[in-house]
Chains A and B, each alone.
Chain A
Amino acid sequence: DAKTTQPTSMDCAEGRAANLPCNHSTISGNEYVYWYRQIHSQGPQYIIHGLKNNETNEMASLIITEDRKSSTLILPHATLRDTAVYYCIVRDPDSWGKLQFGAGTQVVVTP
Chain B
Amino acid sequence: GAVVSQHPSWVICKSGTSVKIECRSLDFQATTMFWYRQFPKQSLMLMATSNEGSKATYEQGVEKDKFLINHASLTLSTLTVTSAHPEDSSFYICSASRAGDDQETQYFGPGTRLLVL
Among A39-47, A60-68, A69-77, the one that faces the other chain is A39-47
The CA of A91 and the CA of B2, in the complex, are separated in Å by 20
Name the residue of chain A whose CB is nearest to the CB of B42. Answer: A103
Known: A43-B93, A43-B108, A101-B43. A93 touches B103 (CB 8 A): yes
Name the residue of chain B whose CB is nearest to the CB of A102. Answer: B43
Q: How many interface residues does chain B have, given as a range?
A: 20 to 34
Chain B CB within 8 A of A29 CB:
no
Q: Indicate with 1 or 0, residue by residue over A89-105, a CB within 8 angstroms of chain B CB atoms.
A: 00101001111111110
Known: A44-B93, A97-B106, A98-B34. A104 touches B43 (CB 8 A): yes
Interface residues, chain A, with chain B CB atoms under 8 Å away: 32, 34, 36, 38, 41-46, 49, 87, 91, 93, 96-104
